[in-house]
């Protein structure tokens, strides 16, 4: 059985109960929202509650009311620019892009975007009482030593925010078949209201002791379904969207590689393995400099095949993606050795690459990826 890497950004099934801030924060201020009550047809009494009622009921069951009243977490709650949406089934939070979150393009890096997705998802789950001693784990999950791990992550960025820009991220969770859940995100520029990015992810449960995948049981579902949209809601509702596209198998010969990558201590998360954002950085390590210098990442899709531990040594491999209807993958051409990947997508200068992360020793596949790159905009 394959072990999927844990990028436990959050439990894909929670929402937050608070939208309160002391005083006014101008354009960043929130008003207290009152989620509307909704009902389930299931017999469970808990699923007949509104999301906020479910939060209060949950806290009484796990005994977290005392911690909240004593001040634990309340300061962070008041200072966050975030809270439940009106229906209580999704969560929004605003973030200011910091100077240390921008890269050579003078805009936020893709790692920054991924970290913010992780942050808003974690805040969403934590505010309903989950994630007290792990990444968005419910009481049943903690009792059974279960954790959420990421099976797939897909991020599209249409416009990267710059230093001091303010963005708003909305996130929500829902059931995903019998063995998993999903979490989606929409990113907006607060100043313009423009959608600047979207993302979606799929999650499964893993036993923390055996490191084996496990089916999401009904007890766990009951704990988070109350906070999920009643009808399917997708960040990518379009037919044949790229988030569902299968990542082609990586074929030899490898054109670009970065060998012998080693996890740092800082790359490990609280589940004692390499966090998902580190995988993004490793994938980019083997990208050709010619593309990095002239293009920016617009889409990244990662399939997580197994988790990575601190002592593992990783090879990052990259090759241009074979365009449909062609027999060979384009290779380096031109007198200066510039990389010319397959052109595709909706733009005339969009380049696509396939990626593979594998263990250096036995070649076991850790992660399979696909990226699309567009010409850098004139700034």
CA distances from 91 to 14, 253, 317, 371 (A): 9, 45, 37, 28
Cβ atoms of 139 and 225 closer than 8 Å = no
> In 357-375, which positions are buried (b, 16+ CB within 10 angstroms) versus exposed (e)?
bbeeeeeeebbbbbbbbbe
The shares of helix, strand and coil residues in the chain, as percent rounded to the nearest 5, are: 25, 30, 50
Give catalytic residue positions.
271, 273, 308
d(CA 303, CA 250): 13
Please state, in angstroms and rounded to a whole number, the distance separating the CA atoms of residues 237 and 228.
17
Beta partners for residue 370, in sequence order: 301, 354
Please give the C-alpha separations between residue 26 and each of 23, 30, 31, 81, 168, in angstroms, as whole numbers. 9, 9, 11, 11, 15
What the block records as the tokens of 87 is 């229906």
Helix axes 276-285, 110-126, angle to 10 degrees: 170
CB 149 within 8 A of CB 203: yes
Cβ partners under 8 Å of residue 218, min gap 6: none
Answer yes or no: are the C-beta atoms of 97 and 161 closer than 8 Å.
Answer: yes
Q: Is 237 exposed, middle or buried (0-12, 13-18, 19+ CB in 10 A)?
A: exposed
What is the distance between the alpha carbons of residues 217 and 273, in angstroms, rounded to a whole number?
24
DSSP 241-287: -GGGPPPPPP-SSP-EEEEEE---GGGB-TTSSB-HHHHHHHHHHTS
């Amino acid at each position: 059985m394959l072990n999927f890497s844990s990028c436990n950004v959050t439990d894909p099934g929670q929402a937050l109960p608070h939208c309160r801030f002391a005083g006014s924060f101008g354009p960043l201020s929130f008003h207290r929202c009152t989620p509307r009550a909704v009902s389930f047809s299931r017999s469970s009494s808990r699923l007949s509650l509104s999301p906020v009622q479910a939060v209060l009921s949950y806290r009484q069951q796990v005994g977290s009311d005392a911690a909240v009243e004593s001040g634990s977490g309340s300061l962070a709650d008041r200072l966050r620019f975030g809270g439940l949406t009106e229906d209580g089934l999704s969560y929004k939070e605003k973030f200011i892009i910091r100077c240390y979150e921008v890269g050579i393009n003078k805009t936020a890096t893709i790692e920054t975007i991924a970290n913010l997705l992780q942050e808003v998802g974690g805040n969403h789950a934590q505010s309903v009482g989950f994630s007290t001693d792990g990444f968005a784990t419910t009481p049943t999950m903690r009792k059974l030593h279960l954790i959420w791990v990421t099976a797939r992550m897909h991020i599209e960025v249409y416009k990267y925010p710059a230093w001091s820009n303010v963005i708003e991220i909305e996130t929500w969770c829902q059931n995903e078949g019998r063995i998993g859940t999903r979490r989606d995100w929409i990113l907006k520029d607060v100043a313009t209201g423009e959608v600047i990015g979207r993302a979606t992810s799929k999650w499964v449960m893993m036993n923390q002791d055996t490191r084996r995948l496990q089916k999401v049981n009904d007890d766990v579902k009951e704990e988070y379904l109350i906070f999920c949209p009643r009808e399917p809601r997708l960040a990518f509702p379009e037919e044949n969207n790229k988030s569902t596209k299968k990542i082609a198998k990586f074929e030899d010969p490898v054109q670009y590689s970065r060998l012998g990558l080693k996890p740092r201590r800082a790359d490990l998360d609280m589940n004692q393995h390499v966090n998902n954002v580190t995988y993004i950085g490793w994938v980019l390590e083997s990208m050709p400099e010619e593309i990095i210098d002239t293009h920016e990442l617009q889409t990244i899709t990662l399939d997580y095949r197994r988790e990575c531990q601190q002592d593992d040594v990783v090879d990052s491999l990259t090759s241009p993606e074979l365009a449909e209807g062609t027999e060979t993958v384009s290779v380096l051409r031109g007198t200066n050795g510039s990389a010319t990947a397959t052109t595709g997508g909706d733009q005339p200068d969009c380049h696509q690459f396939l990626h593979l992360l594998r263990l250096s020793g036995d070649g076991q596949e850790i992660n399979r990826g696909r990226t699309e790159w567009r010409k850098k905009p004139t700034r």
